Amino acid sequence: MLIDKVLAAHGGAEKLDKLKFTEKVKQTQDGNVTTIQYSVRPPDGFRIESQQEGDAAKRIYLLRNGGEHWKKDPDGKTKKIVLTGEPLIETVLDTVNFFGPRVVMRLKAADHRLSLADEIKIDGRPAVGVELSKVAPTFKLSLRLYFDKETNLLVRQDKLHEVSSITYGDYKKIDGIQIAQKETKTANGKVVTEFEVTNFRAVGKLDAKLFEQP
């Protein structure tokens, strides 16, 4: 019953399951502001284009061959960048499948184990917790999602193995889907990153060129 209420509140399981979208975000971290444009086409279409304030160049990430990065100069020329410490492909695919408003679809994922957690108060309002876990040969996940008891909207996500949390707020319905306009990530009780959604659009189809080498 809780799962049905949550999914209905966020736009409905059918709409969220088929959701492809673009999202523009202003990220603030350590005093640095970065504009990020996401293009998301699950299960494996994922593009991030970002530009930090004061930097004329852009950075592009594509989920290709496990993840590839480019630098794009103002004149349009691109240069591939090789980074070390790339996350495992299973981790990235999991992120893509449950990115943005699709995070609540974890409640319907067949490979996730769910159990009810304690009811707590968040910002003075009662919230119901659901604990989720997923175990694969090279991938482990342990989360706790909290939903506002009255609105059934997601208000916090705790990553239990990292002692970090993301809080969600300022919801706005766009294209029939509830979008949290503000997200705040904390670690060990301190704010590390703040996100503000400045544009969101659900799309029927994304241009295939977005996911090709720039």
Helix, strand and coil content of the chain, in percent to the nearest 5, comes to 15, 55, 30
Q: What are the extents of the domains in the chain?
A: 2-211
Q: Which residues, in sequence order, are CB contacts of 16 under 8 Å at separation 6+?
A: 7, 10, 101, 102, 104, 105, 177
Residue 151 or residue 66, greater confidence: 151
In tens, the pLDDT along 59-105 reads 999 998 889 999 999 999 999 999 888 888 898 999 999 999 999 99
Q: Among 121, 116, 140, 143, which residue's Cα sits nearest to residue 132?
A: 143
d(CA 47, CA 114): 30
Length of the chain: 214
What percent of the chain lies above the pLDDT cut of 90? 88
Topology of 2-211 in CATH? outer membrane lipoprotein receptor (LolB), chain A (2.50.20)
Q: What is the pLDDT of residue 88?
A: 87
d(CA 148, CA 44): 31
Q: What are phi and psi of 99, to 5 degrees?
A: -85, 145
d(CA 66, CA 89): 5
Q: What is the pTM of this model?
A: 0.93
Q: Which residues, in sequence order, are CB contacts of 132 under 8 Å at separation 6+?
A: 106, 107, 112, 113, 114, 141, 142, 143, 144, 145
Please report the DSSP string for 85-108 in residue order.
SPPPHHHHHHHHHT-GGGGGGGGG
Asked if pLDDT for residue 163 goes beyond 90, the answer is no
Q: What is the pLDDT of residue 86?
A: 85
Q: What is the pLDDT of residue 195?
A: 98
Q: What is the DSSP letter of 12?
A: -
Asked if pLDDT for residue 18 goes beyond 90, the answer is yes
